[in-house]
Amino acid sequence: MSRTVIHGGLVITASDEIHADVLVEGGRVAALAAHGTAAAGSWTADRSIDATGKYVIPGGVDAHTHMEMPFGGTSAADTFETGTRAAAWGGTTTIIDFAVQSVGGSLRGGLDAWYAKADGNCAVDYAFHMILADVNESSLKEMDLLVSEGVTSFKLFMAYPGVFYSDDGQILRAMQRAGGNGGLIMMHAENGIAIDVLVEQALAAGRTDPRYHGDVRKVALEAEATHRAVQLARVAGAPLYVVHVSADEAVAEIAAARHKGLPVFGETCPQYLFLSTDNLAEPGFEGAKYVCSTPLRPREHQEALWRGLRNDELQVVSTDHCPFCFSGQKELGRGDFSKIPNGLPGVENRMDLLHQAVVEGHISRRRWIDIACAAPARMFGLYPKKGTIAPGADADIVVYDPHAEQVISARTHHMNVDYSAYEGKHLTGRVETVLSRGVPVIDRHTYVGRAGHGAYLPRGTCQFTR
Ligand code: DUC
Ligand code: ZN
Ligand code: ZN
Ligand code: ZN
């Protein structure tokens, strides 16, 4: 069995910061011991990584990505191969992507199609959620089977009538089913029926630029849908995870539910923490780069998101990585913002952006690891295999240099997309080395991984009770 020691670093988990050497045996963490243990020679090893002055952190768990996802007449630009490679560059060693049920199709058919897309192509480990696009008697029954095979979470949409949309009756039924089988409902909470009216009115009035995407997707319509989702989950007796929370009033709805003791959880994304409607209003058609749903909000909303992350009103930061090239893809919406494919690239940037939040004092180092690694692993039934550094855990480990400086740019990133939403942003901190199950994937800023190393992860059920 191969043995690796990582010595001299500061090991950070969601609960502890300890100066320790780490022994990796095979694909797992074997032991942590005081600095000097490795040097004293009691641990013989094939490979030794010097982490002096560096952080030793769990590999990131990005619980919300869309590799090669069909959307708006095109398809997300990262494949499982390019997207998981970019994830590795950014210190993320697990992604949970979304298999999609087609309307009129079965969950089985959608899931098998996504297994086939990912199989043999991933650089890091991966799992799936299931998007329910057609809730009916047979798909409700299939939910039980999926839970028993390790696909334990289901995304529903209150947005996108005619595409992914579920009405309140369908939502209630799916929640009841999840309440019975241990599944977790993930909700895209925006009132899509009302939004479509506002879209039609905006276009009729000649308001076609990207900025109007943000205008029509009102804060009130995110807050209303969040409130409704919470109440439906309460009636169904099911836990609820609200994805891509962007508005202060939506955070307040989740906080209010949690204060009542309800098992309601929230996710936000780096784009809502670092970008705003100012980006959507960039001149010409540039704003199309920032079109995603829920939309970017005025800058004033960011403080509520940071506060929510500090206070555990929000538990997880995922990327909703859903990249579309500016050229040829975002451009489909020139002259009609509603035809701009929704989504931003970000799987490579999440760990660094959240470290920047540590540097800027928004969150602590341990909270960084919690929201980016441990909480998503626990939320989606992967802890402690993923999301921590402890004996028995998978040796998904990042050596992170907290002092290195970098500038984000599409010229140097590894995502298969022709722009960066964070172009020119200066960051302190950078991934140096990444192990996935003990195998180097990034070695001192060089990619040494391979497509096919990444393994499929069947998951358990949500490990949060509230
Ligand atoms: N919601 C997502 O979660 N991802 C892409 C598009 C969307 O609306
Ligand atoms: Zn030390
Ligand atoms: Zn969504
Ligand atoms: Zn998404």
If one counts every other C-beta atom within 10 angstroms of the C-beta of residue 285, the result is: 17
Measured in Å, residue 360 CA sits from the centre of ligand 1 at 28
Mean pLDDT, rounded, for 318-342: 98
CB-ligand 1 contact for 211 (6 Å cutoff): no
Residue 38 has pLDDT above 90, yes or no: no
CB-ligand 1 contact for 188 (6 Å cutoff): yes
Residue 6 has pLDDT above 90, yes or no: yes
CB-ligand 1 contact for 396 (6 Å cutoff): no
User: What ligand 1 atom has the least distance to the C-alpha of 322?
Assistant: 5
Measured in Å, residue 219 CA sits from the centre of ligand 4 at 18
| Atom 1 of ligand 1, residue of closest alpha carbon | 293
CB-ligand 1 contact for 68 (6 Å cutoff): no
| Atom 5 of ligand 1, residue of closest alpha carbon | 343
**Partners of 321 in the beta sheet?**
65, 344
User: What ligand 1 atom has the least distance to the C-alpha of 243?
Assistant: 3
Ligand 1 pocket test target in 66, 195, 290 with most atoms within 8 Å of CB: 66
Residues with CB under 5 A from ligand 3 (ion): 188
Question: In which band, very low, low, confident or very high, does the pLDDT at 41 lie, cut at 50, 70 and 90?
Answer: confident
Q: For 421-435, how does the pLDDT look when each residue is reduced to its tens digit (9 = 90+)?
A: 999 999 999 999 999
CB-ligand 1 contact for 320 (6 Å cutoff): yes
Residue 133, token pair as written in the block:
């696009």
Ligand 1 pocket test target in 155, 293, 317 with most atoms within 8 Å of CB: 293
Measured in Å, residue 382 CA sits from the centre of ligand 3 at 22
Mean pLDDT, rounded, for 284-294: 98
Mean pLDDT, rounded, for 165-194: 98
Mean pLDDT, rounded, for 131-157: 98
Measured in Å, residue 243 CA sits from the centre of ligand 3 at 7
ipTM: 0.91
pLDDT at residue number 159: 98
pLDDT at residue number 223: 98
Q: Please, are residues 116 and 85 in contact by the beta-carbon 8 Å criterion?
A: no
Burial of residue 198 (number of CB atoms within 10 Å: 0-12, 13-18, 19+): middle
CB-ligand 1 contact for 155 (6 Å cutoff): no
For the CA of 343, the nearest ligand: 1
The full set of domain ranges for the chain reads 59-379
| The 3-state secondary structure of the chain, one letter per residue | CCEEEEECCEEECCCCEEEEEEEEECCEEEEEEECCCCCCCCCCCCEEEECCCCEEEECEEEEEECCCCEECCEECCCCHHHHHHHHHHCCEEEEEEEEECCCCCCHHHHHHHHHHHHCCCCCCEEEEEEECCCCCHHHHHHHHHHHHCCCCEEEEECCCCCCCECCHHHHHHHHHHHHHHCCEEEEECCCHHHHHHHHHHHHHCCCCCCHHHHHHCCHHHHHHHHHHHHHHHHHHCCCEEECCCCCHHHHHHHHHHHHCCCCEEEEECHHHHHCCHHHHCCCCCHHHHHCCCCCCCCHHHHHHHHHHHHCCCCCEECCCECCCCCCCCHHHHCCCHHHCCCCECCCCCHHHHHHHHHHCCCCCHHHHHHHHHHHHHHHCCCCCCCCCCCCCCECCEEEEEEEEEEECCCCCCCCCCCCCCCCCCEEEEEEEEEEECCEEEEECCEECCCCCCCCECCCCCCCCCC
CB-ligand 1 contact for 65 (6 Å cutoff): no
Q: For 365-410, how does the pLDDT look when each residue is reduced to its tens digit (9 = 90+)?
A: 999 999 999 999 999 999 999 999 999 999 999 999 999 999 999 9
Q: For 435-460, how does the pLDDT look when each residue is reduced to its tens digit (9 = 90+)?
A: 999 999 999 999 999 999 999 999 99
Residue 113 has pLDDT above 90, yes or no: yes
Measured in Å, residue 434 CA sits from the centre of ligand 3 at 29
Residue 328 has pLDDT above 90, yes or no: yes
CB-ligand 1 contact for 131 (6 Å cutoff): no
pLDDT at residue number 343: 98
pLDDT at residue number 454: 98
User: What ligand 1 atom has the least distance to the C-alpha of 155?
Assistant: 3
Residue 1 has pLDDT above 90, yes or no: no
Measured in Å, residue 6 CA sits from the centre of ligand 4 at 35
Q: For 66-109, how does the pLDDT look when each residue is reduced to its tens digit (9 = 90+)?
A: 999 999 899 999 999 999 999 999 999 999 999 999 999 999 99
Considering the chain, what percentage of its residues have pLDDT values greater than 70?
Answer: 100
For the CA of 95, the nearest ligand: 4
CB-ligand 1 contact for 343 (6 Å cutoff): yes
| Atom 8 of ligand 1, residue of closest alpha carbon | 293
CB-ligand 1 contact for 297 (6 Å cutoff): no
Residue 232 has pLDDT above 90, yes or no: yes
Average pLDDT, the chain: 98
Considering the chain, what percentage of its residues have pLDDT values greater than 90?
Answer: 98
Architecture of domain 59-379: Alpha-Beta Barrel (3.20)
Measured in Å, residue 51 CA sits from the centre of ligand 2 at 10
Residue 42 has pLDDT above 90, yes or no: no
pLDDT at residue number 72: 87
